[in-house]
């Protein structure tokens, strides 16, 4: 019995020792496996933040990579637009002048001198980005039909409406009915609406970064800075008379820019009945 008991103890000890050795061996293998994996992982250096951004200078070394242009935002230019350096400089100069001079009739002389030398911002439609030599700015239009056809909305500095290159920039054409047999056609800034008519000139209020000034446009395209009086009533949407819709046939709309037209009654100085203006609709 003593021999059997001793044998049982030895067997139990041997089995426990074997299991312990097996467990140690398994852990050692796992540790070796983990170390091997870590060694493999260490061969692939983790990307540093700077390496997550394509290197523009080095991208030319690879045929599969293209240089990514970094937009330059000039002083006076908005961040979300294509804007030439000269446009930014002129806009910045105009803003400084508007902040400095009082909002009264006395400021028109100084602003007209600025316009005579440099022009003022006029909104236009564009079918391609301005060239670097232009004094211009351009944005992507929010109109879906413009996005599909590559039409941009932007602005240029111009001394007169007639100075704008019609081959590169498009203005809105409007028709003003002073009477059944008296309809005058004007070229005006894109997406603009005059607040009134005075001496057959269309009067506008322009906002520039929270600052305001007024200007007048004649049917001949002359541009003049003014300080307009408040109209007796503001533009009111009305149904277009046939006289005006017939006038559109002589000046067809550009389908890539305009989708239709609408009419407004606007105040005319000296005539409480006002006049009717037909405007193109962009989207």
244-263 tens-digit pLDDT? 888 778 778 888 899 999 99
User: For residue 46, what pLDDT is reported?
Assistant: 34
Q: How many CB atoms lie within 10 A of CB 91?
A: 24
Q: Which of 2-16, 50-64, 104-118, 187-201 has the lowest mean pLDDT?
A: 50-64
Q: 239: which residues sit within 8 A by CB, 6+ positions away?
A: 263
Integer Cα distance of 280 and 174 in angstroms: 7
Q: Is the pLDDT of residue 31 over 80?
A: no
| 130 pLDDT higher than 80 | no
Q: Which residue has the tokens 């236009």?
A: 124
Q: Strand pairing of 136-140 and 82-83?
A: antiparallel
CA dist., res. 258 & res. 125, Å (int): 10
pLDDT surpassing 90 at residue 280: yes
Beta carbons of 283 and 144 less than 8 angstroms apart: yes
- The phi and psi torsions of 47 (rounded to 5 degrees) equal -70, 130
Q: Which two tokens stand for residue 170?
A: 């498009």
Query: Which is it for the CA torsion 28, 33, 39, 45, positive or negative?
Result: negative
pLDDT higher than threshold 50 for residue 179 = yes
Residue 119 is predicted with a pLDDT of 95
Six-digit token pair at 259? 């989708």
* pLDDT range class, residue 68, cuts 50, 70, 90: very low
Q: Beta strand pairing status for 236-238 and 182-188?
A: unpaired
Half-sphere exposure of 262 (CA within 13 A, CB side): 13
pLDDT, mean of residues 65-94:
78
Of the chain, the percentage scoring pLDDT greater than 70 comes to 73
DSSP 49-106: GGGGS--TTGGGG-SS----PPPP--TT--TTSEE-HHHHHHHHHHHHHHHHS-SSTT
User: What is the mean pLDDT of the segment spanning 19-30?
Assistant: 50
DSSP string, 177-238: EEETTEEEEEEE-TT---SEEETTEEEEEEEETTEEEEEEE-TT--EEEE-PPPPSS--EEE
pTM equals 0.71
- Please report, for the chain, the start and end positions of each structural domain, with discontinuous segments joined by +: 82-281
Residue 72 has what pLDDT? 61
Which secondary-structure segment (H or E) carries 41? helix 2-42
- How far, in Å, CA of 116 to CA of 283, rounded? 34
Cα 75 to Cα 232: distance, rounded to the nearest angstrom: 39
What distance in Å separates the CA atoms of residue 129 and residue 155, rounded to the nearest whole number? 11
Give the torsion through C-alpha atoms of 183, 188, 193, 199, to 10 deg: -50
Pairing of strands 260-268, 196-198: parallel
pLDDT, position 190? 95
């Amino acid at each position: 019995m003593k021999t059997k008991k001793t044998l049982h103890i030895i067997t139990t000890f041997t089995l426990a020792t074997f299991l312990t050795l097996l467990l140690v061996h398994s852990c050692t293998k796992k540790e070796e496996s983990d170390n091997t994996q870590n060694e493999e992982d260490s061969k692939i250096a983790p990307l540093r933040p700077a390496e997550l951004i394509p290197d523009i200078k080095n991208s030319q070394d690879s045929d599969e990579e293209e240089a990514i242009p970094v937009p330059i935002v000039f002083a006076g230019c908005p961040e979300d637009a294509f804007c030439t350096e000269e446009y930014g400089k002129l806009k910045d100069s105009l803003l400084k002048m508007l902040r400095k001079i009082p909002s009264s009739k006395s400021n028109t002389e100084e602003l007209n001198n600025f316009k005579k030398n440099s022009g003022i911002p006029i909104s236009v439609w564009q079918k391609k980005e301005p060239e670097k030599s232009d004094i211009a700015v351009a944005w992507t239009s929010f109109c879906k039909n413009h996005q599909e056809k590559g039409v941009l909305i932007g602005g240029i500095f111009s001394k007169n409406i007639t100075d704008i290159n019609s081959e590169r920039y498009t203005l809105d054409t409007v028709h003003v009915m002073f009477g059944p047999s008296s309809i005058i056609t004007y070229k005006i800034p894109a997406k603009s609406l005059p607040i009134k008519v005075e001496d057959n000139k269309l009067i506008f209020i322009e906002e520039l970064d929270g600052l305001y000034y007024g200007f007048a446009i004649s049917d001949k395209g002359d541009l003049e800075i003014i300080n307009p009086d408040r109209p007796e009533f503001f533009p009111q949407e009305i149904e277009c008379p046939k006289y005006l819709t017939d006038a559109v046939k002589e000046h067809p709309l550009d389908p890539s820019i305009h989708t239709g037209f609408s009419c407004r009654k606007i105040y005319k100085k000296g005539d409480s009945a006002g006049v009717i203006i037909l405007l193109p609709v962009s989207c």
